[in-house]
Structure 1
């Protein structure tokens, strides 16, 4: 049986809530042409194994503090999706930082862009297009000490983005009030030794500075989808092996073939610090849909809803159940959607 199945009624209701939020707040909505396809035909629910469909109110009952999301621009869509599920009231939403009031105003959901999870308290220079500071312009200057990558190697890695340096914003102070912290980094390629050094520093910093009992989650990074221009509302591939065959036929773009290796590096680091790991990579590898403008980012709703449920499941495992149902019968679809193959293009 394919891992991705038509959605249950309650899962479709979640997707509908996310879409309504995205459209009304202009928070990463799917394009109008994508929305012409009935929502039931472009919504898919993971069944390997089934994930509980959460009651949004239950999360507020379990939270003892705020929610913090730190990562690159894809994590921004993750934060917007979680805000949609929680009925968040937007306080600010910029490419560098976003905040929503949730749980009837008692809690806050915060997103901070930091491509490499650098833990500096401040950065020099100016914001780049409102998105973040050059990560290397940190205070104090970056040093991983003896045995770590040299400052010269780190600077070269952070600047090696074809003129687009890795971007960072301070997030350490937001840890103080967090009861759930979700970290991610991996879409911005770094040499393995530099990447591992940043991840070790971030994991240790979060473990050492978050309040006692904070649920810490590492969300890994799905690779982009080659050929996404022709598969915006396509059905998922049935298995991970089928996804590998699909990729082999089209070929990886950019450094997407390195994402799995970086995920493995990060998982070892964060597990050693007691983090839960949310595996967004595996299930999303079978999804060809949900890319509105490039082949790496996603619109709402889409595969990112699955990532949110993975993280909420990790929170529930540490704090207590949140589900309203697990395996209800799927809704009836108006039609089926065929797979197509076509070369796509990622926005830089």
Structure 2
């Protein structure tokens, strides 16, 4: 490499190579941002706001439809719990198991938010996660509406039915929204939202996002989050709060949507509508195009991290980025 190319490289950024935070076991650099990064990975904060509103819409629709589904749930006397292989293996319910599930979920959400805040391309990641979760809530609304399963255990104490009183239904929906749909907050006492499991969706999507946007050097964190996700899912079955089919369907739908979206987002060709691109036939393809069309980059998002706050200044004006040469 000649002197002119060296001077050009130094003009782009000044860096000190350190073996830190790399998704492909490469070394990373702590440096000022390179030119062109903002145009290649535009933040587009308004689109992220749209994705957040989309997530909120999906959650509101799910909670609203639950008010209808709750009225249709059969009584324990008329329709006892269905046979389930998990209940056969663990016939006696473990009462504290569901609390473990929700605590694990809250930990995973916290880790995911921390990674989101520290990642340089946080706005892109946020709208991807918001869109995926919002779509999953819409799918869940459809499945629990079309088929109402009986309660999976005698331990359920469902709230009394209101027989179409709109005011009470709205009140319950608002309280459920305020409590985040969690049992530990005391907000969830409605029945019928079994197929598929919303808790499993959160446990799976948060783990997948953590794995997708953390470097390989943090493999201990990845494994810890996998353990939290897996034990949370098992705890749902140990608590007899969902049928096994609820868990299986939630895992399949969540993983396939997450992987499909990120595969399409990683290829500029798959963002184009054409006869050969069968993924462009999905109903949400135009929404996907709206969120991803200006990210003109083939591959996963680079592992770049910066400090989101204006202080301390030494952190604000630095960014961790990958070395352009593998192994250097």
TM-score, L = length of structure 2: 0.29
Higher relative contact order (CA 8 A, sep 6+): 2
Computing the radius of gyration over CA atoms, which structure comes out larger, 1 or 2?
2
Higher strand share: 1
Higher helix share: 2
